């Protein structure tokens, strides 16, 4: 089969579109003929170098395609082993290939009105954000959510899922064009975090501050996050793309009696909660652009540029 693999760490230039061995399903696995797969920041981290990842490695956590029964299916990228979760594309070969073998329990049928590209665009980020909002932060209808970097995979998923769950959203971006897109998708307020004042916008919009912050940026946004959340509010943290060690500002944590919630990936229950919102039509995955599998390098370059709004998808010929 054809696949996109890395044999060494580095930039997009290390990606190879090449022949790779066909997967051989174990007794509890099913073979999926993939039709679409998406990119996540995880793919950039694996490509740039994670010591736990052997080479060669096929990248890609998210994928959708056709199973042996001819069903249109999507893959839950988190494989549970008791209390431990391994991620497709990091701990095993991934979805940036023509075929993949995965546990049958990780395969879900997709409705006819959801395209392969849309199905491939939601699993990892929707599962991650659903866990942040619902399982960890206990988001309630009518609450305010601050979403940093709304054009990213996590940011766009947070906007879509927050609105599907009946919350109100303040979205940030450094791009006015992306903010306009966020407004069209239902954001109740938007602010350019490069040229505007996020904290001022939050206070003018909500009064006491937001109930929940989806924090995945870290050092560059942490101070504003602490100032934007209301007393007794919750901050759900799943990453720190700008740096993991911001000044703690602990006085704001105790004065406001804040709850800071670490969150990563998600369980089967989290995936199924997100999947149901997609299946029911309440949450529509956002596809930024589609590249042929053979042009994975261009897809990685677009993701690294930060120009995307939503998910970048690879189309896989059948």
When comparing pLDDT for 248 and 281, which is higher?
281
CA distances from 302 to 37, 291, 307, 312 (A): 15, 10, 7, 8
pLDDT at 167: 98
β 210-215/229-237 pair status:
parallel
* 230-258 pLDDT, tens digit each: 999 999 999 999 999 999 899 999 999 99
Phi, psi of 182 (to 5 degrees): -60, -40
pLDDT at 116: 98
Q: What percent of the chain has pLDDT over 70?
A: 100
CB burial string 144-154: b at 16+ within 10 A, e below: bbbbbbbbbbb
pLDDT at 83: 85
Residue 82's pLDDT band, with cuts at 50, 70 and 90, is confident
What is the rounded CA–CA span in Å between residue 274 and residue 124?
A: 10
Residue 276's pLDDT band, with cuts at 50, 70 and 90, is very high
pLDDT at 52: 84
* 10-69 pLDDT, tens digit each: 999 999 999 999 999 999 999 999 999 999 999 999 999 988 899 999 999 999 999 999
Segment 198-224 mean pLDDT: 97
Residues 6+ apart with CB under 8 A from 247: 222, 223
Segment 60-89 mean pLDDT: 96
Q: For the domain bounded by 125-262, which CATH number is listed?
A: 3.40.50.720
Domain boundaries, the chain: 2-122+285-315, 125-262
- Check whether 318 has a pLDDT greater than 90: no
Name the nearest CA neighbour of 78 among 67, 89, 69.
89
For residue 281, the 8-state DSSP code is T
Residue 178's pLDDT band, with cuts at 50, 70 and 90, is very high
Segment 145-152 mean pLDDT: 97
pLDDT at 306: 94
Phi, psi of 109 (to 5 degrees): -75, 140
pLDDT at 106: 98
CATH T-level topology, domain 2-122+285-315? Quinone Oxidoreductase; Chain A, domain 1 (3.90.180)
Name the nearest CA neighbour of 28 among 81, 74, 72.
81
For residue 1, the 8-state DSSP code is -
The overall average pLDDT reported for the chain is 97
Q: What percent of the chain has pLDDT over 90?
A: 97
């Amino acid at each position: 089969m054809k696949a996109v693999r890395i044999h060494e760490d580095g930039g997009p230039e290390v990606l190879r579109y090449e022949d790779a061995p066909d997967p051989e399903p174990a007794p509890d696995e099913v073979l999926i003929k993939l039709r679409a797969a998406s990119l996540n920041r995880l793919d950039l981290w694996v490509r740039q170098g994670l010591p736990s990842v052997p080479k060669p490695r096929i990248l890609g956590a998210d994928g959708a395609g056709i199973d042996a029964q001819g069903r249109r299916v999507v893959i839950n990228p988190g494989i549970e082993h008791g209390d431990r979760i391994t991620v497709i594309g990091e701990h095993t070969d991934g979805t940036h290939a023509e075929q993949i073998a995965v546990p049958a329990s990780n395969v879900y049928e997709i409705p006819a009105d959801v395209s392969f590209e849309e199905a491939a665009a939601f699993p990892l980020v929707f599962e991650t954000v659903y866990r942040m909002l619902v399982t960890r932060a206990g988001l309630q209808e009518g609450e305010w959510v601050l979403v940093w970097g709304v054009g990213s995979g996590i940011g766009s998923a947070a906007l879509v899922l927050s609105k599907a769950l009946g919350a109100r959203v303040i979205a940030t971006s450094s791009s006015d064009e992306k903010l306009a897109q966020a407004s069209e998708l239902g954001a109740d307020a938007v602010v350019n975090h490069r040229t505007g004042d996020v904290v001022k916008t939050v206070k003018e919009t909500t009064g006491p501050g937001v109930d929940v912050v989806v924090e995945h940026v870290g050092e560059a946004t942490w101070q504003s996050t602490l100032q934007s959340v209301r007393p007794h509010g919750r901050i759900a943290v799943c990453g720190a793309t700008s740096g993991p060690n911001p000044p703690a500002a602990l006085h704001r944590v105790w004065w406001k009696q804040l709850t800071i919630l670490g969150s990563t990936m998600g369980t089967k229950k989290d995936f199924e909660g997100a999947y149901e919102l997609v299946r029911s039509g309440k949450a529509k995955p956002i596809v930024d652009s589609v590249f042929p599998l053979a042009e994975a390098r261009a897809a990685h370059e677009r993701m690294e540029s930060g120009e995307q709004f939503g998910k970048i998808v690879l189309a896989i010929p059948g």
